[in-house]
A and B are shown apart, each in its own frame.
Chain A
Amino acid sequence: MKEVKIYSDGRVVIDGTETIYEQKGMALLEHLYRTEVRDYPKFFKMDALCKLGFLAVELLVRDEKDRFTPREDRAVILFGKSGPLCNDRNYQATVADFPSPSLFVYTLANIVTGEIAIRNKYKGESSFFVMSEKDEKTMKNTLEEAFQDPMTAEAVTGWINCMEENDFEAEIKIIVK
């Protein structure tokens, strides 16, 4: 099982190997994009939650052969507490003047799963479940239900949370049916 963890305090763990970056919070995400991705300017449009999820999956699948070949057998099923709360606050701040369309589009929790699916050409299930606390049992049950679909053979899944732009964590892995 492959797993990537990114924490706002600068820790990045890839398959158990931890690297501690001097950059923290959003500066860490920007640094990871500029050093590990570089070729997807849409990254800069994303809200904090999407940037976090996008980067975690980039680090997770970057070495896969034929990674951009469209596939229907891999679902993206994520869980978190905050949803797009950071972006919601930013959007709310624009409402008094002129509501920003570009912020409005990120006010749904499942935009992050969509961004991941678009980048990697995943055509399978894409869902985001908001939970009041991390509940491993419910997460496991939800995945088992997803695997009832004969089309779904694998899932990019895990916990992703962004309470503030400098307070986030992502723990994302790929599991196989």
Chain B
Amino acid sequence: MELTETLKAQIIEALNLDGMTPEDIDSSAPLFGDEGLGLDSIDALELILLMEKNYGIKLKNPAEGKEIFKSVETMASYIEKNRTK
């Protein structure tokens, strides 16, 4: 399975998006804000934990999060480059 698809499933599980399927998530749509998935700062914590737990990535600079968590695509691209597991 492609990383973006795996990531969608992991996001659904981590954020308890009950009833949502990976097909409901547009890979390039914004994760935060009113458009797209509509996540907020609390969800950002879950995404940081998800990257640490599943890919061994510790986000050292929280300011980077804004770019990394723009969409599933940008998140997958960051994980590809920085994963330790």
Within 8 A of A (CB), among B1-44: 14-20, 24, 36-39, 42-43
Closest Cβ of chain A: how far from B69's Cβ, in Å? 14
Q: Which bucket holds chain A's interface residue count?
A: 10 to 19
B63 within 8 A of A: no
Separation in Å of the A67 CB from the closest CB of chain B? 16
Contacts of A26 in B (CB 8 A): 18-19
Whether B46 pairs with A100 at a CB distance below 8 angstroms is yes
Majority secondary structure, A binding face? helix
Flag if A90 contacts B16 (CB, 8 Å). Answer: yes
Whether B38 lies near A30 (C-beta < 8 A) is: no
Which residues of A are found within 8 Å of B38, using beta-carbon distances?
A: 40-42, 45
What residues of chain A lie closer than 8 Å to B57, measured between beta carbons?
none
Q: Are B46 and A101 in contact (CB under 8 A)?
A: yes
**Is A175 in contact with chain B by the CB < 8 A criterion?**
no
Q: B68 within 8 Å of A by Cβ? A: no
- Is residue A108 within 8 Å, beta carbon to beta carbon, of the partner chain? no
Interface residues of A in 17-41 (CB under 8 A from B): 26, 29-30, 33, 40-41
Known: A98-B49, A102-B15. A44 touches B43 (CB 8 A): no
- Residue ranges of B at the interface with A (Cβ–Cβ < 8 Å): 14-20, 24, 36-39, 42-43, 45-46, 49
Could you pull out 27 A-B pairs where Cβ atoms are within 8 angstroms? A26-B19, A30-B19, A33-B19, A41-B24, A41-B36, A41-B37, A41-B38, A42-B37, A42-B38, A44-B17, A44-B19, A44-B24, A45-B15, A45-B16, A45-B38, A45-B43, A98-B49, A100-B16, A100-B46, A101-B42, A101-B46, A102-B15, A102-B42, A102-B46, A103-B16, A104-B42, A105-B42
Closest 7 CB pairs of A and B: A42-B38, A44-B20, A44-B17, A30-B19, A101-B42, A101-B45, A102-B15
